[in-house]
Amino acid sequence: MAEAKSAIELSHVSKAYPGDVDAVDNVSLSIREGEFVVLVGPSGCGKSSILRMIAGLESPSEGELLLHGEDASKLEPKDRDIAMVFQTHALYPHMTVRENLEFALRIKGAYSATEIKERIREAVDILDLAPLLDRKPKHLSGGQRQRVALGRALVRKPKIFLFDEPLSGLDAKMKNQMCVELGRLHSRLQATMVLVTHDQNEAMTMGDRIVCLSNGKIQQVGTPMELYEHPANEFVASFIGVPPMNIFAAQWTRDGLYFEKAGVPFAVSEEFASRYRSIPRMLVGVRPEFFTISAAAPNAFVATVEVLEHLGYESLVYAQCNNLSLVVRVPPFENFDVGEKIYLSLDEKNIHLFDISTGASFR
């Protein structure tokens, strides 16, 4: 089976703003046709600047940007066959939903009345907008306005959809519903989609691949589970996952790895020791689900329960081991008292190791 062609290709792209602000630093990325890619990272990491360069709202300071193999620097935004959905929805307040959907098609002047009607019908069916067609934006909920914004992009039938923080203004329930809506839309259209978010839950839910960024640089590109299970560095490990990975410093002693803030040793196998003993000091990462609460055992260490958070489908135990704070994921039926002593066991197979200076993963 032939590999899908690239819809978007960034080659050594940088973007600098006045005042020597480097928003994007030497980014290279290929997005395949029909792929759903999510750019995720904290505020100021460069993800929105990348999106705006793809849309043609900004120009790269350096590097090359290709759309379907064509140099994008030669293309005006209107000629890129891209539809962009913003966080603010940007609906015309004096127009009904139907008029908002029709406007972009009518102003372009390239479609007959019959074709406009058919495109509106398709978008209405896909996004279930029929009950809203005669309402104005002020009479719509946040989720409804976002669906209309999606519909306005959809009627254009672009080759590429760009989404800039489209769900950030929604409550938790509506955000979850819209994540599903966007996933269904992508499955139905098989169009190329690029979404920007700071919410890694959204990224994990929707993306075929995730591009994790920090300080204008790509930290890792991969499927959601690749980033979760095999983070390339400490930043990705701590950013992807809710609650985040437990990360703490450790050093080698004759008793094994010594967890510094916890003040406890952790015995490891000879194989593990021979592989990593040349690294005198490192960061250890452990996902909350990989701690086991059990009876006292040779390799277990004692922690004190500080907070127990019941989430229905699971519980989170926030505990303290000397000066080390930990979060442990447990089944929902587990119950503990604040102040209770618990024993935490850990399998060395589930440990992540990172360079204490660079943050790069050793495993």
Is the distance from CB of 237 to CB of 290 less than 8 angstroms?
Answer: no
Q: Compute CA 323 distance to the chain's CA centroid, rounded to the nearest angstrom.
A: 31
More confident residue, 110 or 263: 263
209/24 Cα distance (integer angstroms):
20
Task: Find the range with the poorest average confidence among 167-171, 182-186, 305-309, 353-357.
Answer: 167-171
The tens digit of pLDDT for each residue in 199-231 reads 888 899 888 999 999 999 999 999 999 999 999
User: 7 near 66, Cβ under 8 Å?
Assistant: no
Lowest mean pLDDT among 91-95, 236-240, 287-291, 296-300: 296-300
**Res 350: pLDDT:** 94
Give me the mean pLDDT over the 43-71 stretch.
95
Q: Tell me: the pLDDT tens digits for 60-77?
A: 999 999 999 999 988 899
DSSP string for 123-161: HHHHHT-GGGTT--GGGS-HHHHHHHHHHHHHTT--SEE
Average pLDDT over residues 27-37: 97
Can you tell me the mean pLDDT for 224-253? 96
pTM given for the model: 0.90
pLDDT at 1 over 60: no
CA gap 271, 268 in Å, rounded: 8
Q: What's the rounded Cα separation, in Å, for the pair 271 and 275?
A: 6
Q: What is the mean pLDDT of the chain?
A: 91
Domain boundaries of the chain, sorted by first residue = 6-239, 246-355
Q: Which helix (H) or strand (E) holds 259?
A: strand 256-259
Domain 6-239: assigned CATH number: 3.40.50.300
Average pLDDT (228-246) is 96
Residues 324-341: what's their mean pLDDT? 93
pLDDT interval class at 128 (50, 70, 90): confident
The stretch 344-358 carries a mean pLDDT of 94
The distance from CA 177 to its chain's CA centroid, rounded to whole angstroms, is 17
CATH number of the structural domain 246-355: 2.40.50.140
pLDDT over 90 for what percent of the chain? 64
**6-239 matches 246-355 in fold:** no
Using CA atoms, how far residue 60 sits from 31, 39, 54, 190, 211, in Å, is 17, 17, 9, 28, 19
**pLDDT > 60? residue 2:** no
Q: Are 220 and 212 in contact (CB under 8 A)?
A: yes
